[in-house]
Amino acid sequence: MIEYVTIPDYQALMLPLLRFAGDRSDHTLREAIDHVSDLFKLTEEERGELLPSGRQAIIDNRVGWAKTYLQKAGLLSSPKRGIFQITDKGLQVLKESPQNIDVKYLERFPGFKEFRSVPGPTRRKKVKEIEAEGTPLEVLEDSYQQLRDELAKELQENLIKVSPDQFEHIVVDLLVKMGYGGSRRDAGSAIGRSGDEGVDGVIKEDKLGLDLIYVQAKRWKGNVGRPVVQEFVGALQGQKARKGILITTSRFTSEAIAYAKSIETRVALIDGEALGQLMIDHDLGVTAKNAYIVKEVDTDYFTQ
């Protein structure tokens, strides 16, 4: 489970959200998000911190789920699309001045208990475990990211074991899938074997070949340091190339990364982990095992 220490979890947001709605006015979720972000003094960076999928801000997700849980308990209502307001039951809760509102607190309300009811003690236990870790979407995305990271590591281990010829083919296949090299035949003829278990050559940056990229890929056992990157940059200058891709199955040292960022020549450093992630992104060397589609209500469908 990925932890975001400075961003309050969704249960910690329930009471502040209910108090925010205590003025009995109509509010939007965006207003609520801005309010609690200000209340907890979140920085701009924290407000923009995204879930692993990169599709939603963490604070937005957590405020949304806090609102959903309060609605299921009957403390908030949604009189019209995109609007929520406090209910009489919610006002009564505020009059009781609770120190905290969380899932356990909400269990006193029949509507919330019905919302969380699932058959069997094992299923109920799993629901409580999920709620303790984060919002359902957070848990789903974090679990997916963990599976993805493990798969990338497995790919990296397999890349180290393949023959030089196969490694060359894998690199060519990946570059073509990423849109480089023109056709598979063009890329394959442009990149040839070097004498150190790697590939070394020039490929087209686009299908028309308007620009070229110098590529070098090696299966280093240890970390790749600055001297290797400097040597690669020297090779680029010798070829009068402006761009290069240096690929390794291991890792680059911090000095190597800093050097690549400090020079004018544009050099992309791809280590073993990044190589595995790229293979996953472009469906190379992997097969789909299961697919889970997360859906939400299409409110436009119900709006006349």
User: 54 burial class (0-12, 13-18, 19+ CB within 10 angstroms)?
Assistant: exposed
CA–CA dist 220, 124 (Å, integer): 49
DSSP SS3 for 11: coil
DSSP SS3 for 285: coil
172 shares a domain with 128: no
Q: 54: Cβ–Cβ under 8 A, 6 or more apart, which residues?
A: none
129 shares a domain with 19: yes
214 shares a domain with 120: no
Residue 6 lies in a domain: no
Which parts of the chain are beta strand (E)?
76-77, 85-86, 191-193, 198-204, 212-218, 243-248, 266-270
Q: Please give the tally of structural domains in the chain.
A: 2
174 shares a domain with 127: no
Residue 160 lies in a domain: yes
CA–CA dist 299, 290 (Å, integer): 28
In this structure, the number of other CB atoms found within 10 A of the CB of residue 294 comes to: 9
* pLDDT at 278 (0 to 100): 94
What is the domain-level CATH number for residue 189? 3.40.1340.10
Residue 138 lies in a domain: no
114 shares a domain with 76: yes
274 shares a domain with 160: yes
In this structure, the number of other CB atoms found within 10 A of the CB of residue 9 comes to: 20
* pLDDT at 172 (0 to 100): 82
Note down the domain range covering 66.
14-133
CA–CA dist 181, 245 (Å, integer): 13
* pLDDT at 235 (0 to 100): 83
* pLDDT at 122 (0 to 100): 47
What is the domain-level CATH number for residue 60? 1.10.10
Residue 295 lies in a domain: no
122 shares a domain with 24: yes
227 shares a domain with 271: yes
176 shares a domain with 125: no
Contact 59, 67 (CB under 8 A): no
> What value, to the nearest 5°, has the Cα angle with vertex 258 and ends 254 and 264?
155
pTM, two decimal places = 0.60
198 shares a domain with 166: yes
Residue 297 lies in a domain: no
Residue 142 lies in a domain: no
167 shares a domain with 75: no
In this structure, the number of other CB atoms found within 10 A of the CB of residue 3 comes to: 10
121 shares a domain with 21: yes
Final residue belonging to a domain, choices 89, 118, 133: 133
Per-residue pLDDT of the chain (304 residues; tens, 9 = 90+): 344 448 999 999 999 999 999 999 999 999 999 999 999 999 999 999 988 878 889 999 999 999 999 999 999 999 887 899 999 999 999 999 999 999 999 999 998 988 877 554 444 444 555 555 578 788 788 778 878 888 888 898 888 888 877 887 888 888 888 887 666 666 655 555 444 434 467 777 766 666 778 888 888 878 999 999 998 888 888 777 788 899 988 999 999 999 999 998 889 999 999 999 999 999 999 988 777 777 777 766 676 5
Residue 7 lies in a domain: no
CA–CA dist 244, 233 (Å, integer): 8
Residue 180 lies in a domain: yes
* pLDDT at 132 (0 to 100): 57
Q: From residue 232, how far is each of 64, 158, 216, 237 by CA, in Å?
A: 49, 25, 8, 9
Beta-sheet pairing, 198-204 with 212-218:
antiparallel
